[in-house]
Structure 1
Amino acid sequence: MTQSLPTELDLGWPPPPFLAPQPPLVGEDGVRHFEGITYATTPGYRPRLLDVHVPATDEPVPAVVWIHGGGWLEGDRRYPPPTVPVDLLHGSVLQAGLALVCIDYRHSLEAPFPAQLHDVKAALRYLRRFADGLGIDADRIGVWGESAGGHLAALAGLVSPDGPDGTALEGATGVRDEDSAVRAVVDWYGVSELVSLLSHPLPPSPADVEYPNPFTALLGGTADQLPELARAASPVTYAGAAAPPSFLLVHGTADELVPYSQSEVLAEALERAGGDVTLQPVDGADHIFLGAADVTPIVAASVAFLARHLGV
């Protein structure tokens, strides 16, 4: 842990009380929808929200936490990338007997890394605190993210309080006294090694939109601090963690924004550490699977992986 890595503020008082979820809305199909639950707050920032969708059953079910992409600069918990229909993603998870949890997190111009990971960890701890009221099995939780969300999903699976920089990366926002571990990770075209991406050329932005560099915006800091900050924000840094969860990495081979080699590097690091990892290339696909003939089998394979490893 270096002094240049930002940490969660120690505010000097306990976090605000987090209330049990209110009764859900129940659809005609029996699916229960808990919407807009505040799972974490930080003075001066918007509250972080999550939605929980639980299939129609009286038994606790495993849960999948969906983490949206958007270059850590934008995005919305309610929507997957435009190449993946909402009904396909949500329906596939629920039909497999899994609960779907969609979370917000702070964007990089609100707060630099590791605020985003702190929020993901806080969401996981919240789910465990209130698992009974939500109808989920606290012992069977996985994470699934795309792009920036894939990066955060990988970190959520690899970073623990007992590992390198673990206490600082766990954060102290939201519910504190619960475990944030997960059983399985699905990482769609996420960043794994940020140091090399600091010099990676980016595709041109749309003519009417001016985007900051997503990698340097995430890290903050001065130019001389960026390499060390990038190392601290890279999942490969933690790939040697003891007993990592099972990983599925899915990545387009023609991705111009996040090169396919990013998933190769993480897969190799996990294999060296003895981890259970599957790398699934999507031939000829760019970022967000643009150019893929059909995303349905990609979604199906990801859901099947999660169902298998979460014990459905």
Structure 2
Amino acid sequence: MTATAPTQTDTGWPPPPFRAPTPAVTGTDGVRRFHGLSYATSPGYRPRLLDVHVPPADGPVPAVVWIHGGGWLEGDRRYPPPTVPAELLHGAVLGAGLALVGIDYRHSLEAPFPAQLHDVKAAIRYVRRHAAALGIDGERIGVWGESAGGHLAAMAGLVRADVHGTGLEGAEGVREEDSGVLAVVDWYGVSDIEAILGQPMPPLPGEPPYPNPIDTLLGGPEAERPARARVASPVTYAADGGAPPFLLIHGREDRVVPYSQSEALARVLTDAGGDVTLRPVEGADHIFLGSAEVPAIVAHSVEFLRKHLSA
């Protein structure tokens, strides 16, 4: 009798590149919640997880992929920035009849760019593959991110395999689905990294000293960083046309990511014939600190997504 090698079905090894959704938990509010779904796995890294919140509906609903910030160094899919209560963000999205998909991604000390973009695109492909099980319309997906997540949302909306090749698409998780999106909301994300290389960071509390987020994201020798910065910058791809509608919201007094970063992306998108709205927030620092407009900003963002995903 000839022995055969064990299959993945027999032993669970090697681990699959993603796992199918587990059953949802339905709350008293009627919202179906899927917690901690593994949308991508790869040796040497923690599984990348996402949560899905689906409002009560008679059929599949559009979905918004939420991408957290944190300088590409930290952050958690479950928590918006401290200026934006999770109840406000989640309630506004679900109340508009949209599903909310919160995702984690590899931080830059785990792996430099483009690992973060690979993970975002893998999450979108996962949602599209399992849309029926999740109660989502896989043809109507948008992305929304803040700070580092805003940068990744912009990149996810602009980088397309048919135009820019597969190097930024990644091969994590589900591979066969499309990673395109119908709308992008970018809150105070970096758009032209080369323009701010070497920019000093405002002093941040804590020990040991906080790493420079840009240097850590790009990795590699210092001499290579300008070239790496161009590859990691949304403005590099914004001129190619075919972008989905963009909403950019940015504090005028942002000391971490200058307001000029969103101005630059809006200008390139406009010149390429894109549909872009830039909303300045007067007197606001990073994460909209100092502004009383946060509820209105959330409402504007959700209405933008509802409009473009429900059309």
| TM over 0.5, shorter chain | yes
Distance verdict in 2 for CA 1:17–1:223, change over 3 Å: closer
Alignment partner, residue 81 of structure 1: 81
Match of 2:252 in 1: 253
Deviation at 1:209, TM superposition (A): 4.8
Q: Which residue in the other structure is 1:9 paired with?
A: none
Counterpart CA distance in 2 for 1:68 and 1:32 is 21
**Partners of 1:216 and 1:151 in 2: CA distance:** 15
**CA distance in 1: counterparts of 2:63 and 2:193, whole angstroms:** 29
> Size of the alignment, in residue pairs?
298
1:15–1:175 contact (8 Å) kept in structure 2: no
Distance 1:273 1:130 in 2: 34
The SS at the match of 1:29 is coil
Could you tell me how far 1:16 is from its partner in structure 2?
A: 2.2
Q: Which residue of 1 aligns with 2:7?
A: none
Q: Does the 8 A contact of 2:17 with 2:41 survive in 1?
A: no
1:15-26 pair list within 5 angstroms: 16=16, 18-26=18-26
Code of the residue aligned with 1:300 in structure 2: it is: A
**SS of structure 2 residue aligned to 1:243:** coil
Q: Displacement of 1:207 after TM fit? A: 4.6
CA distance in 1, matches of 2:116, 2:39: 13
The alpha-carbon deviation at position 240 of structure 1 amounts to 2.0
Matched with 2:213 is 214
The residue number in structure 2 matching 1:198 is 197
Q: Equivalent residues in 2 for 1:218-257 (5 A)?
A: 218-257=217-256
1:69 aligns with 2:69: yes
Could you say what secondary structure the match of 2:310 adopts?
Answer: coil
1:146 is aligned to 146
* Cα distance in structure 2, aligned partners of 1:223 and 1:51: 37
- Calculate the aligned-residue CA RMSD, in Å: 1.2
Q: Counterpart amino acid of 1:34? A: F
CA separation in 2, counterparts of 1:209 and 1:222?
22
Secondary structure of residue in 2 paired with 1:170: coil
Larger Rg: 2
State how far apart, in whole Å, the 2-side matches of 1:226 and 1:275 are: 29
| Gaps in structure 1 of 5+ consecutive residues | 1-13
Distance 1:81 1:207 in 2: 18
Query: What are the Cα deviations for residues 47-98 of structure 1, in whole angstroms up to 9, with x where unaligned?
Result: 0000000001131000000000000000000000000000000000000000
Runs of 4+ in structure 1 off by over 4 angstroms are none
CA, structure 1 residues 221+122, in 2 after alignment: closer, same or farther (shift >3 Å)?
Answer: same
Q: Is the 8 A contact 2:145 2:151 kept in 1?
A: yes
State the Cα deviation string for residues 178-198 of structure 1 (Å, max 9, x = none): 000000000000000000111
**One-letter code aligned to 1:39:** Y
Change (3 A) 1:107 1:19: closer
Question: 1:294 offset after TM fit, Å?
Answer: 3.2
Unaligned runs of 5+ in 2: 1-13
Looking at structure 2, the residues matched to 19 and 122 of structure 1 have their Cα atoms a distance apart, in angstroms, of: 12
Kindly provide the CA deviation profile for residues 264-283 of structure 1, in whole angstroms up to 9, marking residues without a partner as x: 00000000110000000000
Higher relative contact order, structure no. (Cα contacts within 8 Å, ≥ 6 residues apart): 1
Alignment partners' CA distance in 1, 2:179 and 2:168: 11
